[in-house]
Amino acid sequence: MRRTLFESLTRRPLTETPPTADNAALAELAASLDRAARQRLGRSLAIREVDAGSCNGCELEIHALNNAFYDLERFGLRFVASPRHADVLLVTGPVTRNMREALERTFNATPEPKWVVAVGRCAADGGVFAGSYAVVGGVDAVIPADLHIAGCPPTPLQLLQGLLALLAPRRDRVAPQP
Amino acid sequence: MPVLADILAQGQRVVGHRPWPRYQVTPEAWNQAASAIAAGRASLFGLWGDTGAAPMVNMAIIEESSGDIAVASLACPMRKFPSVGALHPPAIRLERAIHSLCGLEPVGAPDTRPWLDFGFWNVKHPLGECAPVAAAPGAYAFLPAEGAALHQIPVGPVHAGTIEPGHFRFTASGETVVRLEERLGYVHKGIESLMAGATIERAAQLAARASGDSTVAYGIAFAHAVEAALGIEAPARARYVRALMAELERLANHLGDIGAICNDAAFALMQAHCAVLREEVLRAAARSFGHRLMMDRVVPGGVAADLHADGPNVIRALLQDIRLRFPRLVELYDNTASLQDRTAAAGVVSVDLVRRFAASGYIGRASGRGFDARKTPGYAPYDRLDFTVPVLTEGDVDARIWIRVREVEQSLQLIEQILATLPGGPVATALEGGDGEGLGLAEGFRGDVLAWVRLDGLSVVRCHLRDPSWFQWPLLESAVEGNIVADFPLCNKSFNCSYSGHDL
């Protein structure tokens, strides 16, 4: 173990330079959140991930955000175990009828102010599962989503770009509404 | 098929079912087959309902010694069939699902509670008569555990980590788990219903999303089934490219699992290093195939796109890197007594239980069952590749880690062989419509995936997908018994069953 730890001290870090926030995500946030809400988004956000019916592909890529290459925590974003500790709900999957109530309860258990990020194609509109008897549809069909990150599944880079929009410095943001 | 031949010979062979036979059998032969499975003379491989023009239940059976496979079909004109679960418990959940989805009732079944259906769908028996009903969720009756000192702990469906939803009902005596009962179905998306009537192309996309971590394995199983039904074969190069993707998928998942299991024993160092290796596999996959998880790359008839020109070099560099760094991580695991203290003797599954459930993958192999669909019945190109299937008998978390470690080593050398012998030529065959039935298998990282399909032209009439988790989830209930509640995440991660693949 000592050898492994010492080597990590001398080796260059694997962590990549941060990407810039996704423009589409910035625009969507500017449109959906009022100025006061955006001011309250600080540089430290607690994320609660909720799988509302996904195939688990999105979960794999969300997991990857924690690896040394993407190292989500350096941005002040971290995953928490309870919705009661969360500022952001990261929701994946088409919302299944069997998960609808659990998603609503998780949303209700999250204290205000809170934001919902819908991750992946299915979370946008049900994706390939739209129209099934067992699927309600996208996340918006159940709780209001503030931001959508596209992809099937989105790559960790796409996830990072979308999430960074939540944290983007104010000068990068679209001009505040009067 | 020596044991089952007599039983199935009483039935009538169905024309156009490939590559293994399907027989229309009498209720007596159905019961005899179920008894033979219960006696351990053959293994249950799948059990599903089919409510086309004539409702029937199908039971896939494999004789492991010979690799022979057959499907027994029993017509259910009265929408009832003799329960297999009454004789052979591993069939119980499958039968509950058949009742909930197709409306076919297993007569004499020991457990008649619904499965997957929570009462929220607005329809009843969605794969059967699909009658509209008002949503009426009722309370679910968990199995009782009685005693003065017992208490219940409900966990889920929303869990503390970034994992899929499922409900676990623990009954504990102090710290010790007396009974665990799983309730699954939260991520049921109605995939089989969406597949009915879909084009082969759309059905393949749905199959690829049955369980995202096994998207290549599902792609291959579905492609095998469709190709068998149409009586065609994918070109040689396509089969090698599929195997290359399958082994990369196995590598990525095993590396991720080894780290994540150690992390659940609070040993984060392994997780950090394994996650780096996993990421490198996914990046190599993206550069070689254009998608990190290689989703939608396997299609019936071949593969959607050939390996990129610099793919072989990218993958060879990846192999070199893993060979350099992985052995040291294995050594770290092997020499950390505090970690082994958590994993050794935790979550034991008995050899006998694994054999009865015919559990596959690392769960089976850690408890003495060396079944691997790549060997038995086997499929191209693995018949031309040299590899061994590791088997242990301890059946604990530690053994499930070691099986993964050995499989990583096997996958590395399989990939090397595939790259060295990759044939040239086309990577896809055009599909021409047909109206056959096909059964397909693929060995995913978790175990064998079974796909069964009935085609009409270029569209799917009915498709059934059976995840390996169906025969693994029930064993988790047994593995946890007698362990402390705090060791459940560790045991669960060492199983890493699919929620989505099971719920479908």
Share above pLDDT 90 across residues of chain A, in percent, rounded to a whole number: 61
In order, the DSSP letters of A122-169 are HHHH-GGGTT-TTEEESGGGTS--SEEE-SSSPPHHHHHHHHHHHH--
Q: What is the pLDDT of residue A178?
A: 42
Q: Is the pLDDT of residue A172 over 90?
A: no
Contacts of B272 in chain A (CB under 8 A): 67-68
Residue B502 sits at the vertex; the CA angle it makes with B500 and B504, to the nearest 5 degrees, is 60
pTM: 0.95
Whether the CB of A154 is below 8 Å from some CB of chain B: the reply is no
Contact A133 B121 (CB under 8 A): yes
Q: Which residues of B touch A81 (CB under 8 A)?
A: 160-161
- The CA distance from B206 to the nearest CA of chain A, in Å, is 7
Nearest chain A residue to B504 by CA: give it.
A55
Chain A 129-148, residues with CB within 8 Å of chain B CB atoms: 129, 131-135
> Do the strands B17-18 and B437-443 form a parallel or antiparallel pair, or are they unpaired?
parallel
Environment class of B320 (CB within 10 Å of its CB; exposed 0-12, middle 13-18, buried 19+): exposed
Report the mean per-residue pLDDT for chain A: 87
Tell whether B215 is within 8 A of chain A (Cβ): yes
Please write the tens of the pLDDT for every residue from A108-123. 999 988 999 999 999 9
Sketch out chain B's domains with CATH numbers.
5-132 (3.30.460.80), 194-468 (1.10.645.10)
Q: Cβ contacts of residue B39 below 8 Å, gap of 6+? A: none
- Rounded Cα–Cα distance for residues B198 and B458 (Å): 9
Secondary structure of residue A115 in the 3-state scheme: strand
Contact in structure between B54 and B5 (CB atoms under 8 Å) = no
**Chain B residues with beta carbon closer than 8 angstroms to that of A56:** 164, 211-213, 498-500
Chain A touched by B293 (CB under 8 Å): yes
Complex ipTM value:
0.95
Contact state of A99 with B213 under an 8 Å Cβ cutoff = no
Chain B residue at shortest CA distance from A50: B158
Residues 6+ apart with CB under 8 A from B419: B244, B312, B315, B316
Q: Name residues 16-55 of chain A within 8 A of B (Cβ).
A: 49-55
Contact B189 A99 (CB under 8 A): no
- Give the closest-approach CA distance of B331 to chain A in angstroms: 9
Dist CA B451 CA B219 (whole Å) = 10
Q: Is B133 on the interface with A (CB under 8 A)?
A: no
User: Residue B131 and residue A6: Cα distance in Å, rounded?
Assistant: 65
Per-residue pLDDT 10s for chain B (504 aa) are 456 777 787 889 999 999 999 999 999 999 999 999 999 999 999 999 998 778 999 999 999 888 899 999 999 999 999 999 999 999 999 999 999 999 999 999 999 999 999 999 999 999 998 888 877 778 899 999 888 889 999 998 999 888 999 999 999 999 999 999 999 999 999 999 999 999 999 999 999 999 999 999 999 999 999 999 999 999 999 999 999 999 999 999 999 999 999 999 999 999 999 999 999 999 999 999 999 999 999 999 999 999 999 999 999 999 999 999 999 999 999 999 999 999 999 999 999 999 999 999 999 999 999 999 999 999 999 999 999 999 999 999 999 999 999 999 999 999 999 999 999 999 999 998 888 999 999 999 999 999 999 999 999 999 999 999 999 999 999 999 999 999 999 999 999 999 999 999
Angstrom CA distances, A73 to A44, A120, A164, A170, B273, stand at 9, 21, 12, 20, 17
pLDDT value for A42: 64
Measured CA angle at A122 (ends A116, A128), to 5 deg: 170
